Amino acid sequence: MEAKEIAVRLYENKTFGTTYGKGQYRSAVFNATADVMGHNTKYLLDYHQFDKFEHMARTDEQLEVLRQIGSVKTDDLLFSWVLSYDATTKCKTPVYGYSFINTKDNTLALGMMDESTDEWTQWRLTAKPCKTTQGKNSPTLLATNAQDLSTW
C-alpha cells in the first residue's frame, strides 16, 4: 500500500529551555504539525531528547512503543509522541504512534495507527529548510512526499 501524502511542518521552539513554573522547563526542540491529505485531522508533534520523551509515556501503547524502540542514547535523534488535534473543540488526543527526526541528516520518520482503517501507516521523509518570511510564522523545516502543497 502506498503511503498517503503528508506534510510535516517543523517550527523551532523559541521558548526552548525557558521555565513555565518552578523547576519546569520547556524541553521541546521543535514543535510540528502533520497534515495527511484527505484527512480532516491535524497531528501535533513535539520533538524532545530521548530522556525526556521516554518519561512522557502515559498509555500502555506508548510503553509498548518504548519497549520496541529500546534505549536510544544519541544527541542526533529527537522523538515525539503523536497527538490528534480537533480544531473545532481544541481537543488533543494521544494516537498510537511516534515520530523521530535525525538532526544530522534531517531524516524524519513518522508511524501511527490510522484510526479510520486500523492500519499502521508510516512515512520516511527528508526535512528541508524553509525560507523565513518576516512577520509570518514560517516553519523552520518542511518534510513532505506531496508534489504540490498549494492544493491543500
Q: What is the pLDDT of residues 1-11, one digit of tens each?
A: 457 899 999 99
83 pLDDT more than 60: yes
User: 3-state class of 145 per DSSP?
Assistant: coil
Of 27 and 24, more confident:
27
Looking at every residue in the chain, the average pLDDT score rounds to 89
Average pLDDT over residues 109-132: 90
Cβ–Cβ under 8 Å, residues 48 and 78: yes
Q: pLDDT tens across 36-64, in order?
A: 988 888 999 999 999 999 999 999 989 99
Cβ–Cβ under 8 Å, residues 143 and 8: yes
14 pLDDT more than 80: yes
pLDDT of residue 133: 77
Return the closest-CA partner of residue 12 out of 26, 33, 32.
32
SS (H, E, C) 65-78: HHHHHCCCCCCCEE
pLDDT of residue 1: 45
Please enumerate in sequence order all residues whose Cβ is within 8 A of that of 67, keeping only pairs 6 or more positions apart, or say none: none
pLDDT of residue 152: 67
